[in-house]
Structures are given as C-alpha cells and as structure tokens.
C-alpha cells in the first residue's frame, strides 16, 4: 500500500468514526463527492489545502490524518 492509499484509508476511517457520509463531508468542505471517494480509494493525491479542509471538518490535526503506522504492531 502506498502513501496515497494509506492517507485515503485513514480519511475514510476517521470520517466513518465521526458518522459523516462522503456526501456530508463534500458539503462541509466544498470538495466534490466523487473527488472524496477517489481520495479515500487512493486514486487521487491530496494537496495540503485539501487535506487541511478535511482534517478541520473531521476535527483532527493534519499530522494525525497523515499518520502512517503498521497495524501489525
């Protein structure tokens, strides 16, 4: 799994923990629903501005969203 996929997976996990749909996240951030879906699937890289918007809505710091760690630990 590459960094783009790990960040997308992390965003999806945090969004679901908050009980926010992709459509609601789209509405709150101004980022298209399709774009959010592709970010979560690791198809699109996220720029710092996009990541900052998402992190703000999910109430996490950017470094927490980008955090990459092994699940096997």
**Would you say residue 25 has pLDDT above 50?**
yes
Query: Do 26 and 36 touch, CB atoms closer than 8 A?
Result: yes
Residue 45 is predicted with a pLDDT of 86
Question: How many C-beta atoms lie closer than 10 Å to residue 8's C-beta?
Answer: 23
| CATH number, domain 3-64, options 1.20.1420.20, 1.10.260.40, 3.30.365.10, 1.20.59.20 | 1.10.260.40
**Would you say residue 15 has pLDDT above 90?**
yes
Classify 30 in phi/psi space as left (phi over 0), alpha (psi -120 to 50) or beta. Answer: left
Q: pLDDT digit string (tens) for 29-73? A: 999 999 999 999 999 988 889 999 999 999 988 776 666 443 433
- Give this prediction's pTM: 0.81
Residues 6+ apart with CB under 8 A from 8: 39, 40, 41, 42, 43, 44, 46
- Structural domain spans, the chain: 3-64
């Amino acid at each position: 799994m590459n960094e783009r996929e790990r960040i997308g997976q992390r965003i999806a996990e945090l969004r679901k923990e908050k009980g926010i749909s992709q459509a609601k996240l789209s509405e709150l951030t101004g980022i298209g629903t399709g774009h959010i879906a592709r970010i979560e699937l690791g198809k699109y890289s996220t720029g710092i501005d996009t990541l900052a918007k998402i992190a703000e809505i999910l109430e996490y710091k950017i470094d927490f969203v980008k955090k990459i760690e092994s699940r096997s630990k």
